[in-house]
Structure 1
């Protein structure tokens, strides 16, 4: 969404397109495996795929058919089963969940009614309907669960179920390894992006001291140097909690890596392959990212530093929607939308770089930052506190930028993700920074 004043037909078409795109992806992720794989729990960290499928339909019914249209509940008896806060993921396989066929039928019936509703919706009158916000929120919710289901597919042990073409080859990146971001104020967050979620709001002024930031995310090859130098065996580089965690769990490399003779291999969606040295490192925790940065004599960027590098145009002084400007993403700009099932080589997408020359800030890998997940000054809950407010605090670290698994509707320069610092199953990587006092 680019303009809050778009006419109703344009808003309707955008809502339809984003909802349809999300459902096509959901269908792919839940139709490429047999029923036992849909109902199985492939990791205690994740729900069965069939739970996600019905949860997507239930959230859509609750917000669009009930909250927006004021209709009675279709299946009130299942609301509790698909309440993410009532049942932790580890318990969900024991619940009386809808079977795959029933879950598909329910989600399909909800969607049919939603499309009828969309035809007659006036995109004004309430905060939920203004600029089609509720439809955009539900499209984002479905795409977020699609990313979650893709993580489940990566954790799944079994033959390859998903395929996609690889990103285009890229010549080795020979540009500068880091970029200087000048100090001074910039506008962080948004008050105008129509489908932005509550934790992205409001826009506010931030002062940031000058700093250097990596031009590209840290690569597998660079991360392997940390491993080869004994980084996982040297307590100096780790926070006390990080050191205790990797010792307790015997962690010596990114998730899904293993050594075979002199080679590092990884498992990726059912295929075992040599770890490509030029790709951004993937499936590392915040603890691992932070330890690498310390080993390299650097640090993780703060969330404000990351956003300034991604949005600030030093010529105009504006904060743009994306590093390349205000235009919606396309395949020239970033690796998004499960178009590929891996990050693109470091240095790819020159047309997506920021005005300062920083690349791959959007797509490829979620990037850990140094910051805790906290509200912005003036934060207001909307439309429900369980989306953001209940997660605010030092337990969660912020990730930015999206990954190859993120759709553009759920990814922009202001979008905020968060997770526990131990998490590695997510499509997470990082880049590093260093202060530049006096620059």
Structure 2
């Protein structure tokens, strides 16, 4: 890539840009699990739009439906007006996702980002309970707007707020203390009137912390957390923005624990095609909003409603995608275990098709990602010190593509860890 070809990004675009620094090329087209840059070089995508492209790039089934909708002059922008596209999505969501799982949720369309869905969930919890504080967890990530940032753990991201991030308290996530004492401390602090911890409106949790380093909560820990909240009149919010829509296998990441959160946030792959969209789901008795109390100009992205509906109908009418995701995830897990076993200072963790390769020497993770990019594989780092390489290929990735990506990654790890 020549200096001239990159000049406009350097001279006009803000310093805040991030991913383009790790992957210094200009991408042009994409299909399935692959991107191609303007020089014609192909890259296998184990990033999937940070989890927004669970069904791959330019998924042909959704693309056909979207083109047909646009060519028929379908509604594009509608705020929260009723449209044919919204009705069809709500019906599919009810029939294919909620009803089969016995979930009786109302559906809110906030602004079309995960952070906005989290903001809405926090506001609703505070409105319902009349309480201000919210408990979050170490290494959590919930978004970059002020409310979502307040319940995020990463110090560098929090520092960007420029104002105090208040009315929150952080609890140790499952495994953070290296034993099973986490919820014992939480129970004790909540039940002790001298602990200094105010009774919260809600607890917000990710069942798998993606940005936090692919930290996986155990099913029994999640069940204990749900019981703890229920017994104390505290609302449980599960942030399924990145881990929902089948990333861990089931449609919702919390299904493995057999719990029913009071509030669930969805975004990223709920739009199916990568189009902006978000949902907040909550128990009907919690629907205490007044009209327009939480709104947004682009909460009616009808193009995304079309592709979201097609994604549900095409991939969630049976259990095939869940079974495939779990099988592919086991393929990734086994290969990463071999990589970790071949080099000192490495370990692995993950669930479904989100896995992390953890480096004791944190700086090595970014070096491996750089070499992987040079060899045509896109992977990113996560964790408090960017010590984890996070693998999130599209759920539609083929076994051959998985094997190819893992071969590239294995060779990249070897080139760094072997000196």
Normalization by structure 2: what TM-score? 0.26
Between the two structures, name the one with larger relative contact order (CA 8 Å, sep ≥ 6): 2
| TM-score, scaled relative to structure 1 | 0.25
